[in-house]
Structure 1
């Protein structure tokens, strides 16, 4: 294990996000007292899940590997129910623990399974993707998807700790790493402009090759999220800013049947949110244009098809931030100055989308 960075997340149930390389050895300390550990993983992560199960077994913890479908296909009520059945068959008690090994989808599912079993048992996300490290694994938001939309069923359930093992990024396919950078860019615009400067100064290739740059990006993005969720676990106020770019992003994911990567959808959502703020007179054109420039530099999509607007608007109306029939968007009043645009009229929404669609 190399140098370890501990990023604290405060609140009623404080925990640390551990950032470093080769961190599996830290897991037993986080689950001390457990006799059993369910290890949820998607098929591509079987090798890592087996290594964790072997490590836990050597420490006297009975590991129960549970394979779940990859990506968003695993975030369903049916998959969660199968997991609960296996926990019941294994005799899981309140002192036992759920470990989620994978990207954002697997950790969302693992946290939700843990939140509901016996009304809440411990869980630990072992994030294997950049997206998971900087977003899904931190903050205690767990959930599954329904036909109505993404993450509409879930629970706030802080983990016992989070492992961000940077060694797992070494073999991550380039498209997955690129997709995760969308959430990093988001953190740069809402809170830490140094992130944007790092990305602009280090074109895509060097970001991968320079472990120091990638680690700094991860740590800065995690700190942004940790600072926000420490003061607002249940998204009653400040935490909404973490949804910057997600209102349209989640709508795109739904329209695409979750075939688009989350980061790709959020990338387009960021461009839309910037256009919306500029059209509303809230954001200067230079900062709005910087969204598209940074995301394009990273190879992320910045536009979506024009004919999808009716479907996207319908999907956004069931967004978690909506209040009754009123849509609410996280926008910027300037770099690092997020705020809420409440109830924009349809003409404004369409005008902003025309910039995204190129219509």
Structure 2
């Protein structure tokens, strides 16, 4: 276990407030996270990639409790109602009572599905996030968004259900494949692009160190992003206003993920391309300057992230998928755009013709 004290960030939501701990060796710091368990039943939800690496370490902290595990196959395509049903069956077989806890050990798919399962069992039981990917550490593990996908689109069903604690052990990132690591950097960049121009400049200056996984730089980047998100969640937990800004690039990105059947792009890759499309749309609408778009594209490139729509995608299909986005109101497109780096805003009534023009330019399809 690391002797360096972890970063501690509090998500302040009254009686439902909780800590986010960021550091090395936290999975083995059983005294720290065991205190968040209130009952005797625990279901650990993980996947078949992560569990062989880390489940045993978590199990050592569950001595004396009645616990079991439920393992998903790896990938976004497995974030389904069917697997929620199987996870609920696992809770039933465990005899889980209202003071039971679900532990989410894995990335965003595991965290979303585990949180939704916890929200459903007996109308809501505790859960703890133990994110093992950079993307889940800086984004999906914090804020209480849970849910599953439908064939029609991503995250169309879910609930706001806050965790009891977030245990972000950066040691788990040592085993993270390079592509998954880069996908997580997209969410770090997104936070800066939305509301922190100084952090964006810092990322430009430290992009090489982040790409090389320098630990000091990495912890600072994770903590800065989590601190920003924690503040937004505290002010707007259920996304009635400001929290929607955190979805910069997501409407485009989710459409790209869905069109690719969750196999073409990782979530962070979809966000990267989506952010750039949102910047180009902002520029087309006269909201932002070309120089800001260019800085974003350069930083994404330096981070090793994709900036182009994959070949073969149809702009009309992408636009149709964007119509199903949860942020839309009264049948009109409602997008998160920006006025330049660090100045995002919610724009309602966006013209589909402008969206299509950006998508056609990005796919090389012109009419």
TM range (shorter): over 0.9
Residues 319 and 356 of structure 2 are in contact (CA less than 8 Å); yes or no, is this contact kept in structure 1? no
Q: Does 46-55 or 317-326 show the bigger shift?
A: 46-55
Matched-pair contact (CA < 8 Å) for 1:268–1:356? no
1:340 paired with 2:346, answer: yes
Question: Shift of the alpha carbon at 1:3?
Answer: 1.5
Cα shift at 1:71: 2.0
User: Do residues 17 (structure 1) and 17 (structure 2) align?
Assistant: no
C-alpha distance in 2 between matches for 1:139 and 1:121: 16
Does 2:238 match 1:234? yes
Q: Which runs of 5+ in 1 are unaligned?
A: none
- Structure-to-structure mapping, 1:198-347, within 5 angstroms: 198-204=202-208, 207-259=211-263, 260-304=265-309, 305=311, 307-347=313-353
- In 1: Cα distance, 2:358 partner to 2:364 partner: 10
* Structure 1 equivalent of residue 136 of structure 2: 132
RMSD of the alignment, in Å? 1.5
Higher mean C-alpha displacement, 75-84 vs 281-290: 281-290
Residue 3 (str. 1) matches residue 5 (str. 2): yes
Question: How big is the shift at 1:205?
Answer: 5.9
Provide the C-alpha distance between the structure 1 equivalents of 2:46 and 2:218, rounded to a whole number of angstroms.
Answer: 25
Deviation at 1:306, TM superposition (A): 6.8
- Residues 207 and 214 in structure 1, CA contact (< 8 A), matched pair in contact too: no
Inter-partner Cα distance in structure 2 for 1:333 and 1:310: 26
TM-score (norm 1): 0.95
Verify the 8 A CA contact 1:247 1:316 in the aligned structure 2. yes
Aligned equivalent of 1:141, options 141, 145, 155:
145
How many angstroms apart in 2 are the aligned matches of 1:150 and 1:307? 17
- Structure 1 partner of 2:44: 39
Task: Give 1:73-88 correspondences, 5 Å limit.
Answer: 73-88=77-92
Cα shift at 1:172:
1.1
| Unaligned segments of structure 2, at least 5 residues | none
Aligned residue pairs total 356
In the alignment, the residues of structure 2 paired with residue 121 and residue 99 of structure 1 have an alpha-carbon distance, to the nearest angstrom, of 11
CA distance in 2, matches of 1:319, 1:261: 18
1:154-173 → structure 2 map (5 Å cutoff): 154-173=158-177
TM-score norm. by structure 2 comes to: 0.93
